Structure 1
Amino acid sequence: MSDREGLGASSSDDDLSLPKATVAKMITELLPKDVVCAKETRDLVIECCVEFIHLISSEANDICEKESKKTIAPEHIISALKALGFDQFTSEVEDVLKDHKQQQKDREKKVSKFEQSGKTEEELLAEQEKLFAASRAKFQPSNAPQ
């Protein structure tokens, strides 16, 4: 009997995994060209990653509960990494978080430009069609100089 069975884990716990093709691609990119990775090794890497995610999530949840919060924030993940002795990963995680926040701001700017136009989607589509029609008319062979 495994630890999971002993803890009464549901069968949905067994369904949690990472995409095998993605993990295999990452492993292949990291290994020298003359080294291959056995299927069992790839599966073990996936299990380790899932277990790591469980560990970090559980610790972050504990930190979150101690702060009387109901949502795990990125800061809880960083605190969990530190609490579990993975300090060496925190600066990279903070960099990724900063990049993610910037990407979100960039997406919001794009949405705001649409909203700032003051036009409906239908009006913008109609304008686009007029521009396409004008462009087609300009470059049609019948209008070409002879």
Structure 2
Amino acid sequence: MSNSEDSQQYMDLIVKEEEEMSGDESDKQDGHGSMLREQDRFLPICNIIKIMKVPVPQNGKIAKDARECIQECVSEFISFISSEAIERSVAENRKTVNGDDLLVAFSNLGFDNYVEPLSIYLQKYRESNKSDRNLFMDSNYAQNEDGATNEAMK
């Protein structure tokens, strides 16, 4: 199946879900039938505005409808990528989505330009976590060598 067919199926699903929901509600149902509040569906607007202000001149302004549009688009994009990553983890009988699932999702959905930079970032993130963990373990070992017991550290 091509990326455009995948995108079309996804958009058809979104339209169908929106038609099934009443137009008056600001809340939507998640895949399990429970209601989601609008603040749970979208990224925080303050984070969106911070990013949007970066290329805008200091005295420039961003219209409210532009901020809300970007907020909705970014949130939809994240849902789109996440859905693909979740499908992969479910297909592999895993309950947890990992960074590699997201990278494959980006590639499958035609966002190949993002895969390499995100792979580099993920690798550096994992290395950073390893060194942080090692630092934590070393400090625990040093404390134990000084006579502290595991019970005292809890």
TM-score exceeds 0.5: yes
CA–CA separation in structure 2 for the residues paired with 1:94 and 1:30: 25
Q: Deviations over 1:41-88 (max 9, x none)?
A: 111111111101110111111112222222212111111111111111
- Equivalent position of 2:127 in the other structure: 102
Match of 2:54, SS state, is helix
Higher relative CO (Cα under 8 Å, sequence separation at least 6) belongs to 2
Match of 1:35, SS state, is coil
- Letter aligned with residue 89 of structure 1: Y
Could you tell me how far 1:38 is from its partner in structure 2?
0.8
- Equivalent position of 1:35 in the other structure: 60
- Percent identity of the aligned residues? 24
| Structure 1 unmatched runs, 5+ | 122-146
- Equivalent position of 1:89 in the other structure: 114
- Letter aligned with residue 14 of structure 1: E
CA–CA separation in structure 1 for the residues paired with 2:87 and 2:47: 30
| Structure 2 unmatched runs, 5+ | 1-14, 22-27, 150-154
Q: Larger radius of gyration, structure 1 or 2?
A: 1
CA–CA separation in structure 2 for the residues paired with 1:35 and 1:106: 42
1:23 aligns with 2:48: yes
> Between Structure 1 and Structure 2, which shows a larger proportion of helix residues?
1
- Equivalent position of 1:14 in the other structure: 38
Superposed counterparts of 1:45-84, under 5 Å = 45-84=70-109
- Letter aligned with residue 46 of structure 2: A
CA–CA separation in structure 2 for the residues paired with 1:93 and 1:39: 30
Could you tell me how far 1:107 is from its partner in structure 2?
1.3
Query: Normalising by the residue count of structure 1, what TM-score does the alignment of the two structures yield?
Result: 0.71
Could you tell me how far 1:2 is from its partner in structure 2?
8.2
